[in-house]
Amino acid sequence: MKTTVLLLPGMLNDASLWDAVAAPLASVADVRRAPALSQDSVPAMADAAWQLLADLPPEAPVVLVGFSLGGYVAIDMLARPQRPLQGAVLVSTSARPESPESQAGREKTIAGMRKNFERMVDGIAAFVTHQPDAPQRIKPMMLGVGAEVAIRQNQAISQRKDHRAALGKLTLPVTVLCGEQDRVTPPDLSKELAALIPSAQLQRVSDCGHMLPVEQPTHLADAIRQVVERPQHN
């Protein structure tokens, strides 16, 4: 039975985020992409993601891949499983709940988005990338998601739950990836996340900021493929 890979995008991302990642996986997996995450909370986003797998029988192998906000959603799904999973890939994300400092920064971001969304996107696109041409490649997608959804995403992130205890009880294989030049979720957060999960593997990717699916899609596709092709033990 072919493994299903569910791709969960980050903030200000839609399904096109995964274009260069999904293509190389098509020969080994049934690749499904969640649309832009627009629900009011991370648990609601997780519930909507589970619905994208509702047609599969319980024995069908499934690998979750969550990027950034999608990583928070994947962590929620791992903590509150609704079906068996083969593995997970957590990309440019963190296990930490919101801190007072990050909450203040998020409120500032929301205010900026309400005032001048396009200007905020310019700044965000530059901050989340490392490669010089990457901001121009992601800005159309970000503008297309729009201010209303982006504000709702920020509000959902700020209310995310602390699932670190649940992560420590996982038995399925998990790969954690981060860009060496990630300024949004720096590598130390990915190291911390991987350390929480038994048997997790950490991969740090050079010449890459936060936008790993865009800046290093081949590396990410290879990492997902490794999880898909790992022998399953029943």
**β strands within the chain, DSSP E:** 3-8, 29-33, 62-67, 87-91, 174-179, 201-205
Catalogue all structural domains in the chain, each as residue range(s) with its CATH number: 3-99+154-229 (3.40.50.1820)
Residue 166 gets which letter from DSSP?
A: H
| Among 177, 172, 229, CA closest to 202 | 177
pTM value > 0.75:
yes
Residue-level pLDDT at 234 = 47
Residue-level pLDDT at 232 = 73
Given a contact cutoff of 8 angstroms between Cβ atoms, the answer to whether 180 and 188 are in contact is no
Residue-level pLDDT at 199 = 86
- pLDDT tens, residue order, the chain (234 aa): 899 999 999 999 999 999 999 999 999 999 999 999 999 999 999 999 999 999 999 999 999 999 999 999 999 999 999 999 999 999 999 999 999 999 999 999 999 999 999 999 999 999 999 999 999 999 999 999 999 999 999 999 999 999 999 999 999 999 999 999 999 999 999 999 999 999 899 999 999 999 999 999 999 999 999 999 988 754
Give burial (CB, 10 Å; 0-12/13-18/19+) of 60.
Answer: middle
Residue-level pLDDT at 233 = 54
**Cα(4)–Cα(60) distance, integer angstroms:** 8
The residues, ordered by sequence, that sit 6+ positions from 47 with a Cβ below 8 Å of its Cβ are: 39
